[in-house]
Chains A and B, each alone.
Chain A
Amino acid sequence: MQLISFDLQSNFGFFRKPETNNTLNVSYNMIHKPALLGILGAIIGLAGYRKKGELPEYYEKLADLKIGIAPLDHDNGNFSKTPIKYSNTVGYANKGTNFLTEELTLISPKYRVYLLLDEAIETQRRLLDNLERGNSEFIPYFGKNEFTAWWDKQSVIKHNYTLAALNENESVPILSLFAKNQNITKNSELAEVNFLGAWESDENPFMYFERLPVGFNLNLMQYQLEEMVFSNYEIMNAHTLPNLYHLLTENRYVQLH
């Protein structure tokens, strides 16, 4: 197994939140697992949505992949956004009249994507190969096909890693988004931000929360959401977080889900 990371970016992005109505369509601020799997599927040429009620090929083949996401060049976790209004006058969208729609679009989104790849599996081996060569079967994009996305193949890094083995009361920095409330059993404490930890960095401390899709609810065929956190504070009780990996060279942690 290899733990790799690469930096994916675009000039714009729009990851539609399905629970919005027609006045203003909004986007998730972070790329999320279902959207990322679509991009990885495009890189190795897997098929997308075909039939209503059926999962696309890329999801079937990649859903078990462990991924982690961290925003880059962000402002306390946020990307600036701009509302873009579109009019559609051809008359197809709304019988006989103009169809107007407005989308709150991300500006210059950029993410570091962590992947745990098993080279024994053919699709994952192909994915690693294409990432390292800067190749893609279909050209990836951020949510809408006019927002073409790319990565610099120099950004592909193979990390030295182990599964994290932490003691209670140990605070650690986590580089990626992590799920806030996972597997909390009776007597364990919640992972939380260590406000009292020493602050040695130049950046301002911040915490960022967003409810993000982590997969699909197959009965309802809709996103399954999870409260995710991104922070530059050290995290207390990180031993309660599952799937936490220790990047040895950087001495930092990432959660892959």
Chain B
Amino acid sequence: MAQQFNNRVYGFAMIKSINSNYNADFSGQPRKLPNGKVYATDKALKYSIRYYWKHALQENVFYFKSLTDDMSPRTLDETYEKNFGKITKKGNELRKELLKNILSVLDVKLFGGTYAGATNVSIHGSCQITHGLNRFPEDVIYSEQIMSPFRNPGEKSKESTMTTLGTQSKLEEGHYVHHLSLNPKNIEEDVERVGAEGLTQSNIDKLKEGLRKGASFYDSAAKAGTENEMLFWVKLKEGSKLVMPSFIEFVDVAKNGTIDLRKIATYLKDDAVKQEIETLEIYYNKAVTNVINLPENVNFQTI
């Protein structure tokens, strides 16, 4: 049996985005709050992690778009059958079998999922990621015109001799901070019910790798320039049930890009908090990222 992972973890993942568009809204601009602050949904980060698992680690990922031979996306039941074979059972038996099968997949164990197809199952994932807020003091979005190389005649402009114009928007500089938590207890009961394998150390290593490399690995035209900047990982002692506040507002980024962790260091220094912590890890690249006021006893590694 693989080594089980039973500790609670808190941390944050920081995504740097320079002249890039990490997470767009439906107008194509980076998502903005009413006060003008740029943010990104948890889905953007999870997508990059799932993509990394699937394409870099060749890991099986369940909640991911896949296409049938005629290029239409598979339904949930079709995806299930592709992974685990034809659905033959019914009712409670099916529920149990399905739960066991999808709980064996890495992304379901960590991020959970809702199954609403041949039967209904809902799994509360063990790893929860929050929306990421841009902690850089400025939120400068610019748009530029781009030209398509093709003529695109329409009903009214059959004679058009021009190629079409479009717009793309980018964020000049952003440092998005996503708070994250990991609580193995979330899936404990489901794991016991069907006798599946719980969270293992190897699952956690893959999660950390995804959090460190996923966004950098994913290079689309819009997301070129978006990279994983930092991962901060606080592993609590086994059995600790401490709730930590969101780290988002604890991270300050100066105009020159220097990251100040003073507020986190102060929070972690508190005795009641300190005694619950097993290890503190931080991952970033010293060559490009400048960090000040690191917490005590933190293990540094390059991202």
A residues with CB within 8 A of B: 10-12, 45, 47, 80-82, 84-87, 89-92, 95-96, 100, 107, 130, 133-141, 145-148, 150-153
Q: Is there contact, CB below 8 Å, between B131 and A85?
A: no
Describe B's contact surface by its main secondary structure.
Answer: loop
Chain A residue nearest in CB terms to B46: A146
B contact residues around A137 at 8 Å (CB) = 185, 241
- The answer, among B43, B79, B240, for a CB contact under 8 Å with A92, is B79
Task: For the complex formed, measure the closest distance between the CB of A154 and the CB atoms of chain B, giving whole angstroms.
Answer: 10
Q: Which chain B residue has the least Cβ–Cβ distance from A100? A: B26
Given contacts A12-B131, A95-B75, contact A82 B243 (CB under 8 A): no
Give the CA-CA distance A86 to B44 in the complex, in Å: 10
Asked whether any CB of chain A lies closer than 8 Å to the CB of B31, the reply is yes
**A91-B76, A100-B26, A135-B241 given. 16 additional CB < 8 A pairs?**
A11-B246, A80-B35, A82-B33, A84-B31, A85-B26, A90-B63, A96-B73, A107-B34, A134-B272, A139-B183, A141-B128, A145-B128, A146-B41, A148-B128, A148-B246, A150-B243
29 contacts between A and B (CB under 8 A): A11-B130, A11-B179, A11-B246, A45-B185, A80-B34, A80-B35, A82-B34, A84-B41, A86-B43, A87-B26, A89-B65, A90-B65, A90-B76, A90-B79, A91-B75, A100-B26, A107-B35, A134-B242, A134-B272, A136-B241, A137-B185, A137-B241, A138-B185, A140-B243, A141-B128, A147-B131, A148-B128, A150-B244, A152-B245
- Docked Cα-Cα span, A81 to B117, in Å, equals 33
Cα–Cα distance between A12 and B116 once the two chains are bound (Å): 26
Which residue from chain A places its CB closest to the CB of B42 in the assembled complex? A146
Q: From residue A250, how far is it (CB to closest CB) to chain B in Å?
A: 25
Specify which chain A residues have a CB less than 8 angstroms from the CB of B183 in the assembled complex.
138-139
Min distance, Cβ A170 to any Cβ of chain B, angstroms: 40
A51 to B25, CA, bound (A): 36
Determine whether B237 belongs to the interface, using a CB cutoff of 8 Å to chain A.
Answer: no
- A-B complex: 9 closest residue pairs judged by Cβ atoms: A91-B73, A92-B76, A135-B241, A146-B42, A150-B245, A136-B243, A90-B65, A82-B33, A85-B26
The size bracket of the interface on B is 35 or more
Contacts of B185 in A (CB 8 A): 45, 137-138
**Chain A residues with Cβ under 8 A from B41's Cβ?**
84, 86, 146
- In the complex the two chains form, what is the Cα distance from A80 to B63 in whole Å? 32
Asked if A91 and B272 sit within 8 Å, CB to CB, the answer is no
Q: Which residues of A contact B244 (CB under 8 A)?
A: 150
B33 and A90 form a contact (CB under 8 A): no
CB <8 Å contact, A90 and B64: yes
Which chain B residues lie closer than 8 Å to A151 at the CB level?
A: 243
Bound complex: CA of A150 vs CA of B244, how far in Å? 7
Q: Which residues of A contact B42 (CB under 8 A)?
A: 146
Measured CB to CB, the closest approach of chain A to B198, in angstroms, equals: 16
Closest Cβ neighbor of A107 among chain B residues: B33
Residue of B nearest to A151 (CB): B243
| Residue in B33, B72, B243 whose beta carbon sits within 8 Å of that of A139 in the complex | B243
B216 at the interface (CB under 8 A from A): no
Name the residue on A nearest B78 (C-beta): A91
- Proximity string of chain B (41-82) to chain A, C-beta cutoff 8 Å, 1 when within and 0 when not: 111000000000000000000011100000011111001000
Which residues from 196 to 250 on chain B have a C-beta closer than 8 Å to any C-beta of chain A?
Answer: 240-246, 248-249
Q: Are A96 and B129 in contact (CB under 8 A)?
A: no
Q: What 1/0 flags go to B20-39 for Cβ under 8 Å of A?
A: 00000110000101110000
> What per-residue 1/0 map shows which CB atoms of B120-143 lie under 8 Å from chain A?
000011001111010000000000
Report yes or no: A147 in contact with B75, Cβ–Cβ below 8 A.
no
A85's closest neighbor in chain B, by CB? B26
- Inter-chain CA distance A133–B273, complex, in Å, is 10
Chain B residues whose CB sits within 8 angstroms of the CB of A85 once the complex forms: 25-26
Interchain CA distance A82-B116 in the complex, whole Å: 28
Q: Which residues of A contact B33 (CB under 8 A)?
A: 82, 107
B101 within 8 A of A: no
Whole-angstrom distance between the alpha carbons of A12 and B31 in the complex? 15
A86 CA to B41 CA in the complex, in Å? 9
